[in-house]
Structure 1
Amino acid sequence: MFARKDDGSELNAEFSVVSDGERLSLVMESAGGRSAGPQPRNNQYNEALTLLLRRLRDRQAVVVSGVVASSQATRLPEEERSIVPVPIHLAEERDIGQVRRQITRASGRVGLKNGAAKEGNNQKRIELRLEVPGCGPGDAAQLEADLAAPSASEALVGDLLRSLKGETIRTVTGKENRIIDVEDGSVLVGTDRSPGGQAVPLVDIQYGLDVLTARGKIQVSVEELGHRSAFVGAVLATLPHVTTTTSPATVTLHSSAAEPDATDVHYGELDVRAQVKVRTEQRKLRRLLANGRTTAPCALCGDEFPVDFLVAAHVKKRAACTDDERRNLRDIAMLACSFGCDILYEAGWVTVDGTGCIRTVELGKLPAGSLKLRMQHLAGRRCGAHREASEPYFAWHRTTTFLGKLAD
């Protein structure tokens, strides 16, 4: 599998997610040497590993351990080829680039004789053993596909910054930052000291958004947000329902009774500022759920449709979700067709039971016609989005939306 960046371009670095029956592992194939194609084999190894670690961080993953897994290294005892001496809780790591360097430098030392002056090849075949919330040993193929797909959240950060392109925004302390361009995972920012612009990674802004959403408040400092903290704070200050203070420099997020989804960092806040609202949310989330396909089946009726005719339907209503649930994009949403299944589920006419089968309201009370035929077609079908990790969200729908409809 080859990962695609958030702009859709593919990185030349092969990876896979495998399972030993108990744990999932990320395997990066080695770089270097010749290949049949125009590029050296896996020559974007470092960039791809950084991207994959960042996407694993978005999933709150832990790198439990890691080893060099080349054919030569596997002859060594495992302790001699270890590259992750202690677990890495990725959610706690702001600088994922540093985490990647830590791993690759350790791999470069594996196999060297004691006292060797230079580091060896640091783009070897490696295996990183993972713990990923919501993913079990049987989810290797799904996690692999999810990691390869462009990130919905960072794509929305890019949309937000592109909406500000050409504008001058002010830091919390009042200094001007001009957004020159947004490309290749970074934003080019001009200041008085650097009028030509300096690149700021989009991941830095995403990190600030995640912390602000989780805590409701963030201090604009190098310790909290890195060396471009002032610019990150300036971007956060453009969001709705945000206020700033200068001593100390702080950004605070306030909820809004009129907008129950105001603290939804993945959608609500970014949608409003970028003025793309539901269309942007649907496009990004549909692409994530469809795994790059141009057509996909409806999770309810099972019929195949072009992606434009599918809706990224929330299994549990967004307004009722916690922040952690909203970030669990894989399990909180499903693809439902716009030819009836989406509205039937949203309105509570159908639900999914604990075994994954679709239940409907009492069909005997429905008049004959297209609606009754549609409901009869759905009754008893298996829902393609039901699995152990998504069951709690379907349970919420059964005990609120669906049972409420039966009471009506």
Structure 2
Amino acid sequence: MFARDDDGVELNAEFSVLASGEHLSLVLESAGGRGAGSRPRNDQYVPALTLLLDRLRDRQAVLVSGVVASARTAHLPEEARSIVPVLVELAAQRDINEVRLQITRAQGRVGLPDGAAKEGNNRKRIELRLAVPGYGLDDAGQLAADLAAPAKPVSNTVLPPADELLHHLTGETILTVAGRPNKILGVQDGAAHVATDRSPKGQPVAVADVQYGLDLLAERGSVRVSVDELGHRSAFVGAILATLPHVRVTPSPATVTLAGPGDEPEADDSHFGELDVLAQVKVRTEQAQLRRLLGQGRDCAPCALCGDEFPVQFLVAAHVKKRAACTDAERRNLRAIAMLACSFGCDALYESGWVTVDETGRIQTVGLDELPAGNLKLRLVHLTGRRCDAHRAESEPYFAWHRKTTFRGNLTSRPRPSTRTS
């Protein structure tokens, strides 16, 4: 895959995202020699690496480790190939180019004999292991697509409210991404009644489920049509999203993407062109609302995990239970479903399952004995056994979900500190 910059220009540097062990890994292919035709292979290695790191920073990603992954160095032990010796929280890095420089400079010595006078190639094939909030091991393809796509001006996206869109489509037959017909029979009592081949008399689909899909599309610019992303009526919601003007639909994986300012829509949108007039700006403000609610109107507030206080713009309203897995009722239970977690590591560690909260409200972490000394281990030692301020009787079921589905460690094998009171 090749990334496009924010002007839509493709960079000549091939990359991929793979599920590797416990992590997602960004693999950037080496530069040099000749590629197809006369152009050097991957000659935009440096700008592409800088761009990818910048987009990972926007997603609050953490560089867990990194190695040279070339065939010539495959025989070396991992520590001899390391180019990211300590955990790097990208959100905390003001100059992403400096991170890129550290990675490329570190490559120069890998594979050279001790005492070599000159540094070698610093455009080698590399593997960067990541923890990215919101992306699990099954999301490698989606993360690659998201990193490759130009940034979209999400705040300027104009989408119609779900109820208006559903009323407008009443009586119409629309097709799912898989090509199956759905007909909207009517909209009442907060639900659209949808007829399919299997249910010709119609089954209800909550308007809120469609609104959630619209909000997600407006916020992220791209939505996968899957149960994990959109709930059990994902096929219908995806079909609704596909009727919008200026979207692109790709079949594998099934994805609906808002077209950029310079993109041409792939299908004729004349049937729904009038929606441009009816639509109102509708972007999901839940994140800001949650921060205000949990921060109680303060300019600064503590992270529920590490306990340190930060300005609210550095705190994330982290969902205790993954938002895509929540029912509509759970998503509306704002005080119990979310907590403030700092963007300096705690949010990423919780989202990726490196830490969790046990039934007593104490923070538990992955096994520390297996981790090398460094910033990651120090961070986890600091968190282990702390009291999570967001744990209460009403939030415990959501923490239990996280322990069962996301946490990477073993709760029963780790003793709980008895002297810590914070």
| TM-score in terms of structure 2 length | 0.44
Structure 1 or 2: more helix by fraction = 1
| TM-score in terms of structure 1 length | 0.46
